[in-house]
Amino acid sequence: MRTSECRIRIYCLNRDFLNKKIKFNLASPEIVYMKSDLDELIELCEAEKLYLENYIKDPFYNEKCELERVIEIYRKWDNLEIYSHADSYHQKQIKDNEDKLKELNKQKNKPLYDDQKIDDALFNLLNGVYKSFIFYLNIKDNLGFNFILSELNFLEISISVKNVLKVAYFFGDDDDEWSPLNAFKGLSFALNSADTKLIYKYDMKNFKDAVFVKILLSRIIYDIFTYAEFESPANLIYFK
């Protein structure tokens, strides 16, 4: 399942769970049905997590997956007798897309950021080496995330509303009501009292690795800042 379809299904399953009131006997068919939905939701979330982890490491991952999907479709059509009259067309499409895939595989992967640096930075905060750090996607545009650890061991990840609104976004025919602020809120960011910052709070108690934080950053880069151009690699600056 493609990642966009995966997210739509996750949204629908979440909505269904929120709309249902569990007042049934645990053996009832409704509960069995909901358990099946829950299993599917867990499976989809794990699949998306794996996708985003791969996307962190390889900026071409999404494009490679799409090319592989298209190649597989043309191969299936090429094997069907009903499409035998179009064999030459299918074979040409297979070759063209295979060539594109080969070219992408030849390119040296240059991740947007070194994910090990995020791990190191968060452990530095936990150990009191630094008080905060800024993870810049674009220093020249002052577009970056400020990371600070509170006394209660809550990590606050914040970004300026002004800078978020300055990012160039692509608006298609179906995007008239789309807002980057709503997209951030969909990832559990909240506005501060002055409406100048979007803030995400993450409990760092029992913190072991930065996988969740890196996935959150990838969701922002991939889902919200999809068409923006960033410095590569991104910059990380500490503050004592």
pLDDT tens digits, residue range 170-226? 554 445 567 888 889 988 999 999 999 999 999 998 888 888 888 888 888 877 887
Which long-range contacts does 170-177 make (Cβ < 8 Å, 24+ apart)? 170/226, 170/227
CA distance 208 to 204: 9
pLDDT tens digits, residue range 57-95? 676 777 788 888 888 888 887 777 666 666 678 788 888
Task: Using the Cα atoms of residue 177, residue 181, residue 187 and residue 191 in order, give the sign of their dihedral.
Answer: negative
- What pLDDT, on the 0 to 100 scale, is given for residue 190? 94
- What pLDDT, on the 0 to 100 scale, is given for residue 1? 44
